[in-house]
Amino acid sequence: MALALLCLLSASALGLGVWQNSARRAGRQMWLEEVICGAAAPAQSALLLAAQRAEGAWGSLVKSRRLAEENARLSARVAYLQSKLDDLTERYAGAARERALRHAYPRSGHGGRPPQLARVIAVGLGGWLSYLVIDAGSQEGVRLRDVAVTREGVVGQVYAVAGHSARVLPVTDPASGVAVRLQRSREVGLLKGTGDWRCELRHLGPQAQVRVGDELLTAGIGGVFPKGLRAGRVISVAADRNTTGKVAVVEPAAGRLQNVEEVLLLRAAAEQ
């Protein structure tokens, strides 16, 4: 039965093929072909449209991936160039600060040698002692009692020296004491650290001519700090609770300890 059906279908297909070929040679179109083509046309159009959309979507995906890769590459390049620009900006700013610092303290009058430039590499705050660590030591010519200054004024004095580093005791530390002179009235007092960012001007008599805004200069007494260095500015004045005189709160000329980046080291007054 199956064999007979197969033979019938084969014969039918063969006959249909012969009939179709004959019709085409005669220039006619078979009605069956018209039916098949008419029925298949919408499906064919839909398949063609779907294929075109799929091709477009694939192209967009490939293009999007390439754009993402290019964007990532360009972003990495921009980040690299930005880091180089930041580094150059920092170097330029540091060089400008160093030039200004050296210009503020020429060789003459400070021991007959170029002041030693040092960079601050650590800051110790709090506890019983505050200090700066600088990147120059005995191998660079740094000595005990060398005076550290910024362009704005006095920072402190060197109290410990190693081969290639040293520690500076700032004027804001309670262990520090600097003889200073009021620039306006020429009165002398002692600048003592308070342990924070301020100092106090002490040993002023009850009639001392001191007022807010007065500038303080080192007096050159004691053999450490050379005379005439800016030490600070008076921000308030009050009666001293421990004496009959006055006491003034002073803002150090060099500002807050943690903001100091570079210092120059001058020879102690006794060694000039």
Same domain, 168 and 206: yes
What is the model's pTM? Answer: 0.67
Q: Which residue has the higher pLDDT, 270 or 210?
A: 210
Same domain, 145 and 258: yes
33-37 own/partner pairs: CB under 8 Å, 24+ apart: none
Q: Which residue has the higher pLDDT, 170 or 71?
A: 170
Domain of 264, CATH number, reads 2.40.10.340
Domain of residue 74: give its range. 42-103
Same domain, 201 and 250: yes
Q: What is the distance between the alpha carbons of residues 166 and 174, in angstroms, rounded to a whole number?
A: 20
Same domain, 226 and 133: yes
The answer to whether residue 163 is domain-embedded is yes
- The DSSP-derived string for 153-190 is SEEEEEEEE-SS-EEEEETTSTT-EEEEEETTT--EEE
Average pLDDT, the chain: 81
Same domain, 77 and 177: no
Question: 177 pLDDT exceeds 90?
Answer: yes
Same domain, 49 and 127: no
**Is residue 148 within 8 Å of 264, Cβ to Cβ?**
yes
Instruction: Give the lowest-confidence range in 21-35, 71-85, 193-207.
Output: 21-35
Question: Among all chains, which residue has been given the structure tokens 């580093």?
Answer: 165
**Is residue 155 within 8 Å of 176, Cβ to Cβ?**
no
**Is residue 167 within 8 Å of 120, Cβ to Cβ?**
no
- The domain boundary residue, chosen from 76, 103, 130: 103
- The domain boundary residue, chosen from 80, 103, 126: 103
**Is residue 193 within 8 Å of 175, Cβ to Cβ?**
yes
Same domain, 152 and 83: no
Same domain, 99 and 123: no
The answer to whether residue 176 is domain-embedded is yes
The answer to whether residue 126 is domain-embedded is yes
Report the domain count for the chain: 2
Same domain, 48 and 178: no
Strand partners, 157: 147, 169
Question: What beta strand segments (E) does the chain contain?
Answer: 116-124, 131-134, 147-149, 154-161, 166-170, 177-182, 188-193, 199-204, 215-218, 230-239, 246-252, 262-266
Same domain, 96 and 149: no
Same domain, 89 and 157: no
Question: Minimal CA–CA distance to 248: which of 195, 191, 174?
Answer: 191
Question: 183 pLDDT exceeds 80?
Answer: yes
Same domain, 259 and 130: yes
Tens of pLDDT along 61-114? 777 888 788 788 878 787 787 877 777 777 777 777 767 777 767 654 444 567
Q: Which residue type does 171 have?
A: V
Question: 28 pLDDT exceeds 60?
Answer: no
